[in-house]
Amino acid sequence: MNRILIRGGRLIDPASGCDETRDLLIQDGRIAEFGEDLETRGAEVIDATHCWVSPGLVDLHCHLREPGQEHKEDIASGGRSAAAGGFTAIACMANTDPVNDEPATTDFIIDRARHDSPVRIYPVAAATRGLKGEVMTEMSALVEAGAVAFSDDGRTIMDSGLMRRVLEYSRLVDVPVVVHCEDRTLVNDGVVNEGPVSTKLGLPGNPAVAESVHVSRDVMLAEITGARLHVAHVSTAGAVETIRQARDRGLNVTGEVTPHHLTLTDEEALGFDTNTKVAPPLRSAEDVRACREALCDGTLDAIATDHAPHAVHEKDQEYTIAPHGMIGFETAVPVVLDLVRTGEITPIELVRRMSTHPARILGQQGGSLAVGEPADVVIIDPERNWTYDPAKGYSKSRNSPWAGRQLVGRTVATIVGGRLVYHVDRGVLVP
Amino acid sequence: MIGRDLLGIEDLDRDEIERILETAEHMREVSNREVKKVPTLRGRTIVNLFFESSTRTRASFEIAGKRLSADVINFSPSTSSLKKAESILDTARTLDAMDPDAVVVRHSVAGVPHRIAEVLEAPVVNAGDGAREHPTQALLDLFTVIQEKGRIDGLTVAIVGDILHSRVARSNIYGFSKMGAEVRVAAPPTMIPPFIESFGVKAFTSLREALDGADVVMALRIQNERLTGSFLPSVREYSNTFGIDRAKLNFAKEDAIVMHPGPVNRGVELSHDLTDHRPSVILDQVRNGVAIRMAVLYLITGRRRRSVAAPQEDGGDA
């Protein structure tokens, strides 16, 4: 009988509203009991004094690069990095090589995840074949194979007629369609947020309106189709406003925001560090403020990392040529804890947006510490000081704007299905 | 004293700019001699690392280096961004390993000289990076205006043309503002960068208003690929509205001078007549460019290479 007792932690369970100091007992892979001074006999005891104990974090948006780009990341390394960040389940995007646009590829990812990854992996399948924006994928077969959502992500579907059909057809399988909203004609060759910073840097600007125009289109299409629209990595005040209005009208629209869009502005690019290059780009302080407000007031449901690994030699190029993206699993918790420290959000509401809501959006288990639930649990020390060094992390890549920075707050332990898969002092333990 | 690298006018203060201009005054004298060469940089090696093609700026730097007796090597890697054999940083490191005393860098992407300066021991001079800066151009423009007007303080400078894509505009905005001039920019709305007012300049879409009271009118080159398409409807429309000719020059002060960084699209930004005759000072700009680049190379190459681990006499083992 496999027992883990997490002792003395602050139990934060958004599903039940519980936020108090309790012991938590895990037995045979499930949440067994919580209370005070629980019996420790036969259990592995993890001390969680001064720590949060909450349902494992669920990431709606990451890139694991396998199959095809294993020099950046693979399912094993990405899964380990996620575990070290406190995630117990992650949804990976379809822009692999080959693209995850047919059941065999979805099967492969799920099979590889079962053997290689310490955390649960939910494949997001392409919405159109080859991410080409021409022919929609076989959604029912892909869902049968295990796809949890559909998205062409960064290859934004510009053809509004096709997008309408994709949304309509998705109702057949009742899973979300995840959209990366950037009108490509407005983005043009832009690589940093259009504004004073792009003018100063002399780099092509990517205007905020490229995002808000596209969010407006997709919200309108969601309205006439009744599909479940999920807006990925919202970065602008304009997009936030459109989503707010859509939700006021009762539309089935959800949204996520990344740790970097919550905390970093376009001024990060002033040193030409290509690790600050991301799509959508880091925005103005005003946009950051709007995103924070929207997360806190519930307009945006979830935090998602958009973990996007790239090799050093790929990032070490001209700013215009270097690929978009930054890794994010291992820095997500300390970075977003900033919102708790400023008093903008309570711990339980933060956990809701990193665990309960993303699990619900994906239609998967998790996000709850109810007795009998699979024991996906994270222990977070919100005060722990550390210096982030990507070279000491688990991702194969190092493209992080937080490299070398002092961070506060860290994942102490991650438990997936009752197995301790990560402990800060012992590293990733399985598989 | 100026810093180790010259990456942009943004980084310089007024004293540093004046120091360079004063040094250039001495350098100009060298170019006026019958034997145009001094031994100042003998035994020094200067590499012109031009990722973006250039004939004028490269020749100017080359002549500047040679007049100071430096050995000047031109290196122009193929710049196909699609299929490159070597990354820019690897190219730069390779050259650095040959121990040059200065590396002059031009690249079509902003920020490349910064990245190269981070990895090189040799000091870096930016000879133009994307739409960001072209510091020696601004310095030679300041030098030319002082020659003509005796000062910068209190002048009104109108920069006309594709401000959005222009590194010359940005460097000159910094340079003329720091030296006490009022800087205006004028362009079709599609060519005015967002938030350009944050640079402390006034932006105009009316040429007449921009030129009103101007002492200096600086026309910028319109790149051929921007003459049609999404930025401008046509060449004719541009030259009618923003091309400088004698009639439009009447909007400016009577004694206004006309400048252009070259090469001129004759009949587009500038009329033929103005390109060749005063009050344009285009060839003076070119001439002064050599003196400015001599001054910059002299001031920068005089330095010791960065972090050269020369054995210390006190026997320190760090």
> Mind listing the pLDDT tens digit for each residue in B108-150?
999 999 999 999 999 999 999 999 999 999 999 999 999 999 9
| Count of residues making up chain A | 431
In sequence order, what are the residues at sequence separation of 6 or more whose Cβ sits closer than 8 angstroms to the Cβ of residue B208? Answer: B248, B251
| Mean pLDDT on A384-411 | 98
Task: Assign residue A9 the CATH number of its domain.
Answer: 2.30.40.10
A320 touching B (Cβ < 8 Å): yes
B246 CB neighbour count, 10 Å cutoff: 12
Question: Is B294 inside a domain boundary?
Answer: yes
* Nearest C-alpha in B relative to A186: B230
Nearest-CB residue to B193 (from A199, A271, A318): A199
Same domain, A45 and A95: no
Distance CA A348, CA A19 (A): 7
Please check whether residues A135 and A219 belong to one and the same domain: yes
A47 shares its domain with A132: no
Q: Does residue A368 lie within any of the structural domains?
A: no
Tell me if A367 is assigned to some domain: no
Considering the domain architecture, whether residues B157 and B227 belong to the same structural domain is answered as yes
Tell me if B52 is assigned to some domain: yes
The CATH number of the domain holding residue B208 is 3.40.50.1370
Q: Are residues A173 and A72 in the same domain?
A: yes
Q: Is the pLDDT of residue A319 over 60?
A: yes
Residue B316 predicted with pLDDT over 50: no
Structure confidence by residue, pLDDT tens digits, A128-167: 999 999 999 999 999 999 999 999 999 999 999 999 999 9
Domain assignment present for residue B317? The answer is no
Q: Which two tokens stand for residue B125?
A: 């001079």
DSSP designation for A126: P
**Neighboring chain A residues of B198 at a CB cutoff of 8 Å:** 196, 199-200
Shared-domain flag, residues B169 and B179: yes
Q: Is A152 a catalytic residue?
A: no
Q: Are residues B32 and B98 in the same domain?
A: yes
Does the residue A183 lie in any domain? yes
- Classify A75 as helix, strand or coil: helix
Domain that holds residue A383: 3-53+373-428
Interchain CB distance below 8 Å, A202 and B114: no
Looking at every residue in chain B, the average pLDDT score rounds to: 91
Residues of A with CB below 8 A from B133's CB?
A: 202
Please indicate, yes or no, whether residues A146 and A161 belong to a single structural domain of this protein.
yes
* pLDDT tens digits for range B265-275: 999 999 999 99
Considering the domain architecture, whether residues B144 and B219 belong to the same structural domain is answered as: yes
Q: Say if B313 falls within a structural domain.
A: no
Asked, for residue B309, whether it belongs to a domain, the answer is no
Q: Which of A306, A376, A389, A425 is catalytic?
A: A306
The per-residue pLDDT for range A133-142, each reduced to its tens digit, is 999 999 999 9
pTM over 0.80? The answer is: yes
Q: Which two tokens stand for residue A305?
A: 């990392």
Q: What is the mean pLDDT of residues A100-113?
A: 98
Same domain, residue pair A168 and A99: yes
Whether B295 is covered by a domain: the verdict is yes
B127 and B141 co-located in one domain: no
Three-class SS of A138-188: CHHHHHHHCCCEECCCCCCCCCHHHHHHHHHHHCCCCCCEEECCCCHHHHC
Looking at the complex, does the CB of residue A284 fall below 8 Å from at least one CB of chain B? no
Q: pLDDT digits over A16-35, tens only?
A: 999 999 999 999 999 999 99
Chain A residues inside the 8 Å CB shell of B134: none
Beta strands in A165-247 (DSSP E): 177-179, 192-193, 205-206, 229-231
Range of the domain at B248: 135-280
CB contact under 8 A, B132 and A203: yes
Flag the least confident range among B70-79, B129-138, B231-240: B70-79
B240: CB partners within 8 A, 6+ apart: none
- A270 in reach of chain B (CB within 8 A): no
B contact set with A (CB within 8 A):
10, 81, 87-89, 107, 109-112, 114-115, 129-133, 167, 170, 193-196, 198-199
A194 chain-B contacts, CB cut-off 8 A: 194
Give B216's strand partners: B157, B257
Distance CA A153, CA A141 (A): 20
Q: Is B118 found in the same domain as B156?
A: no
User: Within 10 A of A370 (CB to CB), how many other CB atoms are there?
Assistant: 14
Going by C-beta distance under 8 Å and a sequence separation of 6 or more, which residues neighbour residue B8? B126, B132, B133, B135, B171, B174
For the cut 50, the answer to whether the pLDDT of residue A169 exceeds it is yes
Tell whether A67 and A27 lie within a shared domain.
no
- Are A106 and A134 in a shared domain? yes
Which of A196, A272, A317 is facing B198, going by the closest CB pair? A196
User: Per the domain annotation, does A199 fall within a domain?
Assistant: yes
Instruction: Report CB contact under 8 Å: B110, A205.
Output: no
* Residue range A170-226, pLDDT digits in tens: 999 999 999 999 999 999 999 999 999 999 999 999 999 999 999 999 999 999 999
B308 occurs within a structural domain: no
Same domain, A296 and A380: no
Q: Is A146 left (phi over 0), alpha (psi -120 to 50) or beta?
A: left
Distance from C-alpha of A191 to C-alpha of A335, rounded to nearest angstrom: 23
Least confident of A407-421, B87-101, B156-170, B172-186: B87-101
A374 against B233, higher pLDDT: A374
The answer to whether A328 touches A259, Cβ cutoff 8 Å, is yes
Domain count, chain B: 2
Cα distances from A77 to residues A9, A73, A97, A333, A366, in angstroms, run 29, 6, 17, 19, 22
B97 Cα to chain A: minimum distance (Å): 19
Distance CA B300, CA B120 (A): 14
Q: Is the ipTM, as predicted for this complex, more than 0.85?
A: yes
pLDDT single digits (tens) A326-358? 999 999 999 999 999 999 999 999 999 999 999
Q: How many domains does chain A have?
A: 2
pLDDT in tens, A266-301: 999 999 999 999 999 999 999 999 999 999 999 999
Q: How many residue contacts between A and B have a Cβ separation below 8 Å? A: 62
A353 and A230 both lie in a single domain: yes
Check residue A374 and report its DSSP letter: B
Do B110 and A321 make contact, defined as CB atoms within 8 angstroms?
no
Closest Cα in chain A to B108: A318
Q: Please check whether residues B40 and B109 belong to one and the same domain.
A: yes
pLDDT grade for B68, boundaries at 50, 70 and 90:
very high
How much is the mean pLDDT over chain A?
Answer: 97
Residue whose entry in the numeric block shows the structure tokens 């004063």: B22
In a domain, A132, yes or no: yes
DSSP B270: B
